[in-house]
Amino acid sequence: MTVAQATPAVPGRAAARTSAPLGRQLLSELRWIIRRPRTLFGLGALALIPVVAGVGLWFAADGPGPAGAGIAAIISGNGLVLPVFVLLLTLPVLLPLVGAIWAADGIAGEAQHGTLRGLLLSPVGRLRLLGVKAFGVAVMSLLSVTVIAVVGSVVGAVLFGGQGMLTLSGSSLPLGPALGRIALAVLLVSVQVWAVAAVALAVSTTTEHPLVVMATTLAGLIVFGLLMAFDSLSWLHPYLLSYSWTGLADVIRDPLPTGQLWESTALAGCYILIGLSLAAMRLVTKDH
């Protein structure tokens, strides 16, 4: 309960401050999230994913037979592709679920612990409250993606070498542009996670049980996957958020094709707008 720490009005003063400065509320929200043991545990678990993936590829490359030789030829000296590979590997389920966890804790978690009532009664506007919670979710989602990318870059460079990046187009990028492509991948994947988290935040305003938010988010991802399996629904596929996720692999092509990347980002922006709008409508009308 961090936004509830807003400074109340002082009796007898006509121009008393009715809320804490926005910057202090944002910092307080981040401190509250980061100091929780489960947050540190979750970030640590995410950091292990590129380590496991890198070690697995390293053993596969050293394995006998043409399969091992083929993997070794692709990954040798190309360790900086590992973070992009891991991000694309975790995007379909794990990273959206992580975003849903942050969103579930933001509103439903407060309601479950009985602190949401205090937040709603505090001298802080409900839209500002939602904005602070959405900011915390966005920062933690970005931090989760960044942790995977940073650890993946280090592990890839140590195990396979990291002087550059061999692109899907067959050309090689030097170290600077390769790191730029990794940063671009972090940003693009984060936007997709924000989109899922925004919808999860809307669901979070309707329940007091964080598990319901996570289950609903996971169910939505499964439904999207099933819808994409039917060719007869091809007209619907471009409107499904997860439809464009495979196209994010274009980030390691040279030259960089921006068409599908921008389309996927714009679609995610629409989901963010819709999710936050629904969350605002529900929170403004929510009873104490």
Quick one: three-class SS letters along 45-75? HHHHHHHHHHHHHHHHHCCCHHHHHHHHHHH
Q: Which domain does 128 fall in, by range?
A: 35-283
Report which of 116, 120, 268, 257 is spatially closest to residue 190, judged by C-alpha positions. Answer: 268
Residue 156 lies in a domain: yes
Distances (CA, A) of 29 to 76, 130, 184: 43, 12, 27
Name the residue with tokens 């966005």: 138
Q: Which H/E stretch holds residue 14?
A: none
Residue 288 lies in a domain: no
Residue 115 lies in a domain: yes
Cβ pair 90, 149 in contact under 8 A: no
Residue 124 lies in a domain: yes
pTM above 0.85, yes or no: yes
Please write the tens of the pLDDT for every residue from 155-176: 999 988 878 888 888 888 999 9
| Cβ neighbours, 10 Å, residue 56 | 10
Buried b (16+ CB within 10 A) or exposed e, 200-233: bbbbbbbbeebeebbebbeebbeebeeeeeeeee
Residue 18 lies in a domain: no
The two structure tokens encoding residue 106: 């933001």
The two structure tokens encoding residue 76: 């040798």
Name the residue with tokens 């479950």: 112
Residue 97 banded pLDDT, cuts 50, 70, 90: very high
Q: Count up the domains in the chain and report the number.
A: 1
Residue 109 banded pLDDT, cuts 50, 70, 90: confident
Residue 26 lies in a domain: no
Residue 121: what pLDDT?
Answer: 56
User: Dihedrals φ, ψ of 61, to 5°?
Assistant: -70, -30
Q: Answer with the residue of higher pLDDT: 177 or 117.
A: 177
Q: How far apart are CA 131 and CA 87, in angstroms?
A: 27
Cβ pair 195, 268 in contact under 8 A: yes
Lowest mean pLDDT among 35-44, 101-110, 207-216, 217-226: 101-110
Q: Which residues contact 107 (CB under 8 A, 6 or more apart)?
A: 116, 133, 201, 204, 205, 279, 283
Residue 16: what pLDDT?
Answer: 42
Q: How far apart are CA 192 and CA 247, in angstroms?
A: 12
Residue 13 lies in a domain: no
Q: Is the pLDDT of residue 286 over 70?
A: no
Evaluate the omega torsion of the peptide bond into residue 255 and state whether it is cis, within 30 degrees of 0. Answer: yes
Q: Is the pLDDT of residue 65 over 50?
A: yes
Q: Which H/E stretch holds residue 172?
A: strand 172-174
Q: Is the pLDDT of residue 13 over 60?
A: no
Residue 21 lies in a domain: no
Q: Is the pLDDT of residue 17 over 50?
A: no
